[in-house]
Chains A and B, each alone.
Chain A
Amino acid sequence: MIVSNKEILYLNSLIENAVDLFHNFWPMTSFIHHNPLHGFENMHFEDAINKAQNYFHNRKFLSRQEYQEFFKKGKIKPEKLQDEIENYCQKNEEDGVYAKLYFYILTNTSESVISNDKTEDFIEFLQEKLSSTCAMQKSQKLGLNFGFCDALDNLYDTNLCEEINQKLCKMSMRHLDEGQAVWAPPEKEKGMYFSWKRIIKKDRVFFNKSLQICRILTLSDKPEDIIYWVLQELKIPKDEWEDFFVLQFAKLHGWTGFLRWRSTNQDYLYQKKYPAYLEEFLAIRLYFLYMYLKKTEKKLGYFPDFLRLEQELAKKESFLRIQYNSGKMVPKFIEKYEQAEKNSSLEQVYEEYMLIYNETYKQESAKFLFKCLKGFDGIFEDYGLLLDRLNAFEEQEGFIWLKAMEESYIEDLMIEMLPNIQSQRLNVFDAQFFFCIDVRSESIRRHIENIANIETFGIGGFFGIPLKLIDIPKRDESNLCPAVVKPKNVVYKFEEGEGKESIKLKKALRHIYHDLKYNTMSAYIMVETIGLLFGFDFFGKTILPNLYMPFRKKVFNEENSGKLLIDKYPKDEILERIKLLQREIVKVALKEKYELNVENLDDEIDEFLQMATSHEDVLRLEKGRIKPISRLAISLNLLHYEEVEFLRILKQQYQISYFHKHRHIEKLSKVGFTFKEQVFYAKNALKLTGLTKSFAPIVVFCGHESKSENNPYESALDCGACGGKSSDTNGRVLTYILNKPEIREALKPDIDIPKNTIFVAALHNTVTDKIKIHTYAIPKDRLPEIMSLQKKIDLASANSALERAKRLPLADKLNDKKALKFIERNLHDWSQPRPEWGLATNHSFIIGPRDISQGIKFKNRVFLHSYDYKKDKIGYYLEIILSAPLVIGEWINMEHFFSALDNKAFGSESKVYHNVVGRFGVISGNMSDLRTGLAAQSVHLKGKVYHEPLRLMTFIDAPFYEYRIAIDKIRKVSELVYNEWVKMIFIDRKEEAFFYYHGNSKRWKKIEFCKIEEKSL
């Protein structure tokens, strides 16, 4: 059976639709924060969270107890909770007594039922009142949350889901490995499906030539053939195919996410070398599913295809089986069930069980009602109705709490910002600092402003310059920009002035590191193998990190800034470089093939290269000809057939051809920025933040990174706007551009930079809050100013570090000196699972000038993006901010939201159980789904939620009526706002009011400044 082109496209379209619900997973070396429910953003937040439960089996909101703790701490204002409850009652047409009851239930923290005679009587009374109530019997149909394997596992107590998952995990770990595994599967370079086929054909248990599926496997290399065949065999109705695929992918959504990312990043080195696609993954899964079903056929006496399984599920006895196997059966009936199961008389005992089942339901309901009504002053006539309403309210309760908490925060933020909004600030500054919008910049900005006459700005950490960095010494290639952009410009980084000895030592040490971090056997053998050298590092890092690490830094020269290639190569220089490179390759080829050492034949080689890279076939084998044609062959005494053969070898083995030459030209032409591009990006960066005049003598672009040891999540602590990398390079590139006189000239008259203004780059380490201003490119006469600035910044760094350290467990009780030492130690301590809190506790995003937020202690919870609408008449720059920094902010916020809410479903649980897999991710234990999301240590503290899950509350300082169109013009942003993935508030100084998108009424609500002033009083 061969599927047609149309069917191939049809199946792949369904696969793409199915995986849309599962977020991409980027390799952990560039951890990208993302919304785990990104695929649900076209729905309203509440609907999405309900639907996601089908696939992720997550909890939807925090528990009542957790919200009650926030309530006790004053983080949820009673009046806000009351408002939300009233809105709920209004929507459901429930009268005031219900609103009172709900508020009472939510805020009542007294312990539950204490049994005494009175309570027993009341419960009995309630039970009588509920006499007509019946438990709803959920019909189990194959569908969204109940797949083939789930049904069989529940009906017959099999373990199919787990067994198939293990097969797929093992196969994925093997094929997707990026150099960590000792053994590689055969012919991996031909793709995941092909390579797996090679292995499975040797498997005696899972390959049987007499089965049609195995014959298809042998005859066809298209995974779609297997998919199509299994769909037919399982008799799955065509309109169920997509849901069926969703359920298959949902079982291992981590691996699915990684494959999804790889299949849309064809340039990723390992995807190029060892391709792997979702349809291959699905075909392998369906192959195993079919084989396992075939195995169960013998046990069941029938083949469980879709139709047959639906029939089985509709039987009364199936309800009993599912109750028993899922552990939900009423305990007192278990013995009877087991007996009936033995006697094959399940159907006869069904009615009996339903009586007990309903009775138990009534008892539980009566207890539930009692618990709700205990101590409440109110009378209800219809207890059945009350029970229904209370059950419905419980379903909605989490969202009510969440909205009330957000409303409380929004009001507090309004109160805090209002005095700033109503005053104007004009000043001349000694220096200006640009920081990333990252929440960790908030405290350092505040402390810098406190100690010196310095103005600070916030901008996405890539500073508006998307670039690909090729780090030659590290052999690393990374995109330094938000994940929603593919950079078009490449910057090369070279290392300068390095001795041979240092290189050798580096290589040796790096080798050790590789083994230690990734080899699963390392824990047992490494100390013996590398002896003292390793032991020294081990003890150094563990026992004396503060003393040892400065020494180690010297060896690794980690602070070497390297030289960046920022300007574009002229075309003739590109051609010249390619020619030089190819000339050397020809010399190597001659040496390897003919053992010829060629010197002083550059002209001859160049002529030969021209022939090799010509579009036409210039040098063809001429029959009967002996004398060579090329000057190179003549000089080397080669015959005609030898020169033709050499040309072929050059083309095939050494990539010297027309095609490769033009690929090199294309690649090299991407290196650097043209003058026009430099002007464009410089202008954008300054205009985005509103800095077009009043430049200070020193303007600093401060990138950021986080340093920690033995932390696979290190990149999650780096710059989110730089794709989980350090944003140091972007700052360096922008300062280089802005220091050019010709660029400054081109920026006029819009942007007028005084001659004495110097742009410098700096790097902010977010673990210690230390900022290092790079001095290598600064003219000598300006160095004293920079040194004096560095001193001031050092003081601010210490203050900010202390403020943040107090939030870290263990450091909170230390004195200032010890707290500083503690965080310094975190930098190097490889036993520390939480070197810093990172972006935890983030909850808001403010887009506007610094005036509106300056001086307010936001406790590192707010993204701050500078923006001045007065310099953006048509909203162009606001659209840019909304379409990238805000979108990335939402990803970060939602990553934390869901990882904190349900760390098992969306996070990756404790780091203690993590193992690095394939060098690109982590798994729990020795085999599991790929763990996506944040570790428990990043969002929880002592088993409790540390990051409060709140949706990003976004404030824009701009006149509402003129600038709200920016939201409607970008589909993604309007989706996020109107589906309430972010809360959007305009600060309108003209109207003297806040305009707030209100989800309950689906309207923009105007709240005048004076009303907030009243509240603040």
Chain B
Amino acid sequence: MIMQKMKKIEIIIEGSSLEVLKRLLDKIDIPGYTIFHNLEGMGSHGFHEGHLLFNEEDALVMLMSVVDEAKANDIAFGLEPFLQKHSGAIFLTDTIRAKAKKD
């Protein structure tokens, strides 16, 4: 196993912004991410119900990715104007990626 110090980045946004976010991350070659749908919670924009059966645009989603520190900073600062105007938040945490050695 190779242990690598990385940054875990968690971005919570409204479902209507998900496609935009995915595309922006593609633009700077983020290699992969995981998406969690139908999140529920309370924030400065009010309560977000999680089980909106027929409305995915107004439910919250979280996109999680593990990247190096430089990319994490690019994302956090680059998305700042977007998050100033839209519901959502970014969390950065130190993490270690355990990568299996391949022959």
A-side interface residues toward B, CB under 8 Å?
A: 4-10, 12-14, 16-17, 20, 242, 263-266, 277, 460, 464, 466, 481-482, 484-486, 684, 876, 879-880, 883-885, 887, 968-972, 974-975
Contacts and interface: CB of A to CB of B under 8 A. Distances in A.
A277 B87 CA distance: 23
A17 B28 contact: no
Interface in B68-103: 71, 73-75, 77-82, 84-87
B80 A13 contact: yes
Which 3 pairs of residues, A with B, have the shortest CB-CB distance? A9-B78, A884-B54, A13-B82
A9 B54 CA distance: 31
A971 B87 contact: yes
Contact of B49 (A12, A20, A277, A879): A879
A13 B79 contact: yes
Contact of A484 (B46, B54, B75, B80): B54
Contacts of B80: 10, 13
A17 B55 contact: no
Given A883-B58, A970-B58, A971-B58, A684 B53 contact: yes
B74 A9 contact: yes
A880 B54 contact: yes
Contacts of A975: 46
A988 B85 CA distance: 37
B58 A17 contact: no
B49 to A, nearest CB: 5
B56 A486 contact: yes
> Which of A481, A484, A968 has the most chain B CB atoms closer than 10 A to its own CB?
A484
Contacts of B48: 971
B58 A484 contact: yes
A485 B51 CA distance: 13
A12 B24 contact: yes
Contacts of B17: 16
B20 interface: yes
Contact of A4 (B46, B74, B75, B86): B74
A922 B48 CA distance: 37
Contact of A6 (B19, B51, B55, B74): B74
B19 A883 contact: no
A460 B53 CA distance: 13
Contacts of B5: none
Contact of A482 (B55, B75, B81, B82): B55
Given A7-B78, A9-B74, A969 B49 contact: yes
A20 B56 contact: no
A484 B81 contact: no
B56 A484 contact: yes
8 contacts: A6-B73, A6-B78, A9-B27, A9-B74, A10-B81, A264-B20, A884-B53, A968-B47
B54 A485 contact: yes
A466 B24 CA distance: 28
Nearest to B53: A880
A967 to B, nearest CB: 10
Nearest to B70: A5
**Size category of the binding interface on chain B:** 20 to 34
A971 B54 contact: no
B54 A263 contact: no
A315 to B, nearest CB: 33
A17 B17 CA distance: 11
Nearest to A879: B49
B57 to A, nearest CB: 5
A17 B85 contact: yes
Contact of A883 (B52, B73, B79): B52
B78 A13 contact: yes
Residue of A486, A879, A972 contacting most chain B CB atoms (<10 Å): A972
Interface string B19-52: 1100110011000000000000000011111011
A883 B49 contact: yes
A265 B74 CA distance: 25
A10 B77 contact: yes
Contacts of B45: 971
Given A876-B51, A880-B54, 6 more contacts: A8-B27, A16-B20, A266-B23, A969-B47, A970-B47, A970-B58
A972 B52 CA distance: 11
Contact of A971 (B47, B51, B74, B79): B47
A275 B30 CA distance: 20
A945 B85 CA distance: 36
Contacts of B86: 17, 20
Contacts of B79: 9, 13
A484 B57 contact: yes
Contacts of A971: 45-49, 58, 87
A4 B77 CA distance: 12
A883 B55 contact: yes
A255 to B, nearest CB: 18
A17 B82 contact: yes
A264 B56 CA distance: 14
B14 to A, nearest CB: 8
A887 B55 contact: yes
Given A6-B74, A971-B45, A13 B54 contact: no
Nearest to A970: B49
Contacts of B24: 9, 12-13
A974 B28 contact: no
B52 A970 contact: yes
Contacts of B23: 263-264, 266, 277
Given A5-B28, A13-B81, A17-B85, A974 B54 contact: no
The winner among B47, B57, B77 for most chain A CB atoms within 10 A is B57
Contacts of B49: 879, 883, 969-971
Contacts of A460: 54
A9 B71 CA distance: 11
B82 A972 contact: no
A969 B84 CA distance: 23
Contact of B55 (A5, A263, A884): A884
A964 B82 CA distance: 32
Contact of A242 (B19, B55, B57, B81): B81
Nearest to A4: B74
Contacts of A5: 28, 71, 74, 78
Contacts of B74: 4-6, 9
A481 B71 CA distance: 38
B54 A464 contact: yes
Contacts of A482: 54-55
Given A17-B85, A968-B46, A974-B46, A10 B54 contact: no
Nearest to B20: A16
Nearest to A9: B78
B46 A485 contact: no
A971 B87 CA distance: 10
